[in-house]
C-alpha cells in the first residue's frame, strides 16, 4: 500500500531568499508540486507577500517569514514556523545570496563576513535546524544554489566566489553524512535574468550572451526547473552533485 501523502497534505519546503528572482521561481514550482512553501525575505516584504499571494491564488500554500539567514537564531525561528504551518519539512533550498563588486583592496572585513554568512553559513544553519523535521519524513531533499563564480573565481568578488566554492564542499559533505534518507545537491546557475544581474545585463547583455554557447542568458524558471527535479522523489539516486545550469559557458 502506498502511504505517500496526498498533494494537499504534503509537508513544507523552505526556500531562502525567495521574494524574487530564482528563489521566487523555485517557490512557485514547489508550491505547484503540492508543498507548503516558506517565502523568506530580509528587506523586500512587499515582493515576498506578492509571491505568497500568487501561490495561494493558484491553489497553493505559502507563508511569509522575515529572517536573516546569516543569523542562526533567526533561521531556527523560520524553520520552526515553517514546520508548524505545514506539519513538517521535506525540502530545504538554500538560495539566499549576497553579492557585491569589491576588489581585495576595497573589501572590508564586514563585507567578507557578510558574504560568508549569507552564502555559506546560512546553508549549515538551515539544514541543521531543519534536520529533525527532514529525518521525520520518508525522504528529504536539500538543494543548495551555487554560482558560476564558484567554478571560475572572480576578479571583483573573491568573497562571493570563495563562499560559493565552500558551498560545493558543504554539499558533498552533507550528502555523505545524511545519506541515504536525505539527498543533498547543488545547482550552479550561470548568467540569469535577475535583479542581481540587472546592471550588467542592462549594459552588456549582448556581449555576455555572445560568450554563452546557448546564445542567451537564463530565465529564473529554467534554474527552478532543475531545482524542482532534484527536490523530487524521482531524483532519489542523485546526491553530492553540482549541476551546472549555465548554457554551456562553463563545462
Residues known to be catalytic: 160
**Residue 183 near residue 175, CB atoms below 8 Å:** yes
Peptide bond into 180 cis (omega under 30): yes
For cell 528572482, the residue is 21
Which letter, b or e, does each residue of 135-149 get, where b requires 16 or more Cβ atoms within 10 Å of its Cβ? Answer: eebeebbbbbbbbbb
* CA 16 to each of CA 42, 144, 182, 200, 228: distance values in angstroms, whole numbers, following the listed order: 10, 10, 19, 24, 15
Spatial CB neighbours of 70, under 8 Å, sequence gap ≥ 6? 98, 114, 117, 118, 121, 122, 125
In angstroms, the CA 23 to CA 26 distance is 5
CA distance 104 to 118: 19
Q: Read off the DSSP letter of residue 87.
A: T
Q: From CA 63, how far away is CA 61, in angstroms rounded? A: 7
Amino acid at each position: 500500500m502506498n502511504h505517500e501523502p496526498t498533494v494537499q497534505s504534503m509537508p513544507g519546503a523552505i526556500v531562502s531568499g525567495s521574494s524574487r528572482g530564482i528563489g521566487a521561481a523555485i517557490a512557485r514550482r514547489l508550491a505547484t508540486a503540492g508543498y507548503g512553501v516558506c517565502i523568506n525575505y530580509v528587506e523586500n516584504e512587499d515582493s515576498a507577500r506578492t509571491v505568497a499571494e500568487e501561490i495561494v491564488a493558484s491553489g497553493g500554500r505559502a507563508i511569509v517569514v522575515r529572517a536573516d539567514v546569516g543569523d542562526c537564531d533567526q533561521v531556527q525561528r523560520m524553520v520552526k514556523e515553517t514546520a508548524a504551518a505545514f506539519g513538517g519539512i521535506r525540502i530545504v533550498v538554500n538560495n539566499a545570496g549576497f553579492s557585491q563588486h569589491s576588489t581585495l583592496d576595497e573589501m572590508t572585513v564586514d563585507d567578507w563576513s557578510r558574504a560568508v554568512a549569507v552564502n555559506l553559513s546560512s546553508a549549515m544553519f538551515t539544514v541543521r535546524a531543519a534536520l529533525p523535521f527532514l529525518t521525520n519524513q520518508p525522504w528529504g531533499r536539500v538543494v543548495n544554489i551555487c554560482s558560476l563564480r564558484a567554478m571560475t573565481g572572480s576578479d571583483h568578488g573573491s568573497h562571493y566566489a570563495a563562499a560559493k566554492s565552500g558551498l560545493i564542499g558543504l554539499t558533498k559533505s552533507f550528502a555523505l553524512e545524511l545519506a541515504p534518507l536525505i539527498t543533498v545537491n547543488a545547482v550552479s546557475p550561470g548568467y540569469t535574468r535577475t535583479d542581481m544581474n540587472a546592471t550588467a545585463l542592462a549594459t552588456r547583455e549582448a556581449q555576455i550572451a555572445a560568450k554563452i554557447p546557448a546564445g542567451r542568458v537564463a530565465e529564473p524558471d529554467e534554474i527552478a526547473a532543475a531545482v524542482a527535479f532534484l527536490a523530487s522523489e524521482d531524483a532519489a539516486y542523485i546526491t553530492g552533485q553540482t549541476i551546472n545550469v549555465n548554457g554551456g559557458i562553463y563545462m
